[in-house]
Structure 1
C-alpha cells in the first residue's frame, strides 16, 4: 500500500497523483479518462473500456519455443492466453525454426476456438491474433447458444441409439466441439469483465457478484456437452453389438431423456427470467428422476447378459443423471441471484 499526499488545485478541487507503475501497467496516458467509484468509504480508480482494449491491442505475449519440450504446453499456453483476453500471442524460435510439432499444436487451438487466426508466419516466428470485440458477445447470449446446441445433442444421441442411426450419433461430437468453443469464449468474456466494469456492462453483467455464478453455470453447460459426447462415443464403440435388440429398454431411456430435456428447458427458463418457482421445480425434479433411473438400471441387470451392452446402457443412464445434477446446481444459483434484490417473495425490511 502506498501513501499519497492530497494537493489543492484551484479554489475547490483536491487532487492526488496516480502511481506511475500502475499507470504504465494499465497503459494510461495523459488525457485518458478513468472512472471513479465509491466503495465502502473508499474510492476505486478504474480504466475506461477504450483504454483497456487499446492496451491489449498494443501488447504482445511472446513465447520462446526453444525451451518448450513437453507435448501440450504450446497448446495450453495459447488457450490460456486466449482465455485471459490476450489478443496477440507470438511464438518465437531463436535457434532456427518453430518446430512442426509446435505448429501442429498452434493450429489445433486456432481451429478449436472462436475469432482467432494465424496472421504472420515465418520459420522463426508465428503470430496468432484474436479479432473478438468483447462488447459484441453478451454472456447470456452465448449461454443461450450453448443451451440450444445441448437440446439438439440430447435428442440426437438418444434418438440415434433408438433408430440405429450412427451418423446422427457421430454428429454429437461435432456439436460438442462448438459447445467447447462457446465455453472458452464465455470464460474469456468473464475474465475481461472482472478487469473492467464498463466492458462488463456491455456484456450484460450488472454486478461483479454474477461473474463467479456465470462461470459455474458455463462450466455446468460445458460438462453436460461432455456427458453427451461420452454417451455418443460409448454407443459408437458398441455399434457392432446390436444394441437395438433391447429396443424396449432404449425406449424407456428415450422417455427418461425426455424428462431430462424438460428439466433442461425449465432450468434455463428459470435462469434467464430469475423465476424462483420454476427453479425450485427444477431442483425437485432433478431429485425425482433418480428413482426412475433405478428402475431402468434394474431392467438392464435382469435382461442384458452381454457385459459391453449392459455397460453401455448403464453409462447412458449415469450420464443423463449427471446432466440432471448440473441442472439442479444452475437452479440453485438462479434462486440465490433472485435474492440479491427485494421482491414480493422476499421483502427487505429495516
Structure 2
C-alpha cells in the first residue's frame, strides 16, 4: 500500500500526486485523461484506460475427461473464444460432446473446425444484456414450467409434462449467461454503471438466479410425477385442495420476484407472512393423503412437496430484498 498526503491549493482544490512508476507503466503524460469513479464504500478508482478498446479473451484447452466442464468454465469466466486443440485429432465422441456443450450456452457457436481443432466463439458481448433482463427471462421460463407442471399433474397430460422437462434446458442456459454477465460486471465496474448496478449487487443477482433455476428443477420434479401418476382420476377428491395450495405458492413466488426487482420490502414481508397459511395447507394435504391409497399417495405427496419447496425458495428470494434496499440507502 502506498500512502500519500492530500494537499490543498489556495483556492481550496484538493489534489494528490500519482506514483511515478505506475504512471510510467500505464503510459501517462501531461494532459492524459483519467476516469475517476466512486465506489459504494467511498473509495475512488482511477482508470487510465477508460477509453481503451475491448480486447477479446481467448483460451486454449485440450480434450480431457473434463472437456465439457472446462468449456462451461471458460464461458462463465467471460472468454470470447475457446479453442479446443488436440495433439493428434479430436474423436467423434469429443466432437459430439463439444457440440452438445455449446448448445447449452447462449451465444457460443462453432466458427472453425478441422481434424485437430474446434474453435468456439461467443457471439454475444460480455455486457450485451443487463443482468436484470437476463434474470427476468430466466424467471419467465421457470414460472411457465411451474404453471404447466401443475396442469400436467392435475390433468394427467404426459405430453405437457415432457414439454416442461425439456424447457429446463432453457432455464439453465439463461442462468449460465447471467453468471457470465455478472462476472463481467465485477471485473469491469463501468459495465455495472451501464446497467445501473454495483458489484455488491452481483451476489444478490447470482443467488436469485440460482434460486430461480432451482424453481425450474422443482417444476421438473412435478412433471416427472405427472408422468408417473398418469391417471388424473387417482386423486380427483384432492384436486381442489392441491389447486388452492398451488395458487398460494405461485402467488408468493410472483410476489417475491416483484419485490426483488422493485426493492419493495413490503412485498417481501408479504411473502414471509404467507408462511403460516401455506404450512397449514400443506399439513392438511399431507394428512389427507396419508389416509388414502398407498399406491398413489406417495407420488401425489412428492409433487405437493416440490410445490412446498418452491415456496421456500420464494421466501429466500424475498429475503434478498432487505440487503439490496440497504445498499440503495448507503448509496443515497
One of 292, 297, 309 as aligned partner of 1:322? 309
| Maintained 8 Å contact 2:156/2:227 | no
| Residue of structure 2 in register with 1:283 after alignment | 272
For the residue of structure 1 that corresponds to 2:106, the secondary structure is coil
CA offsets, 1:221-271, max 9 Å, x none?
Answer: 0111011112212322343xx253211223322221111111111111211
- Asked if 1:168 corresponds to 2:160, the answer is yes
- Please tell me whether residue 75 in structure 1 is matched to residue 68 in structure 2: yes
- In structure 2, distance between residues paired with 1:60 and 1:29: 28
Partner deviation per Cα, 1:31-59 (whole Å, 9 max, x = no partner): 997633456786534475764x722x2x3
1:184 is displaced (CA, Å) by 0.6
- Provide the rounded CA distance (Å) in 2 between the counterparts of 1:32 and 1:237: 69
Q: Which residue of 2 aligns with 1:7?
A: none
- CA shift for structure 1 position 295: 0.7
The question of whether the paired residues in 2 share the 8 Å contact of 1:75 and 1:106 is answered with: yes
Structure 2 contact 110–120 (Cα < 8 Å) conserved? yes
Distance (Å, rounded) in 1 between the aligned partners of 2:326 and 2:42: 25
CA distance in 2, matches of 1:273, 1:116: 32
Alignment RMSD: 3.0
Q: Please say if 1:255 is aligned against 2:244.
A: yes
Q: Secondary structure at the match of 1:36?
A: strand
SS of alignment partner, residue 256 of structure 1: helix
TM-score normalised by the chain length of structure 1: 0.82
Which segment drifts farther, 99-108 or 110-119?
A: 99-108
3-state SS of 1:101 partner: helix
Correspondence 1:134-173 to 2 at 5 A: 134-173=126-165
Corresponding residue of 2:225? 234
Is 2:103 aligned against 1:111? yes
Secondary structure at the aligned position of 2:320 is classed as helix
State how far apart, in whole Å, the 1-side matches of 2:33 and 2:97 are: 40
Quick check: 2:61–2:82 contact (8 Å CA) kept in 1?
A: yes
Partner of 1:311: 298
Secondary structure of the structure 2 residue equivalent to 1:231? helix
The verdict on how the C-alpha distance between 1:33 and 1:85 changes in structure 2, with shifts beyond 3 A counting, is farther
> 1:102 and 1:340, CA in 2 relative to 1: closer, same or farther beyond 3 A?
same
| Aligned length, in residue pairs | 319
Equivalent residue number for residue 9 of structure 1: none
Within 2, Cα distance between the matches of 1:46 and 1:60?
Answer: 23
CA distance in 2, matches of 1:133, 1:297: 49
Aligned residue runs from structure 1 range 175-324, under 5 A: 175-205=167-197, 207-239=198-230, 242-306=231-295, 309-324=296-311
**Residue of structure 2 equivalent to 1:8:** none
The TM-score with structure 2 as length reference comes to 0.86
Q: Which residue number in structure 2 is paired with residue 16 of structure 1?
A: 19
**1:61 aligned onto 2:59:** yes
Alignment correspondent of 1:334: 321
C-alpha deviation, 1:156, in angstroms:
0.7
Distance in 2, Cα, partners of 1:186 & 1:159: 29
Structure 1 gap segments, 5+ residues each: 5-11
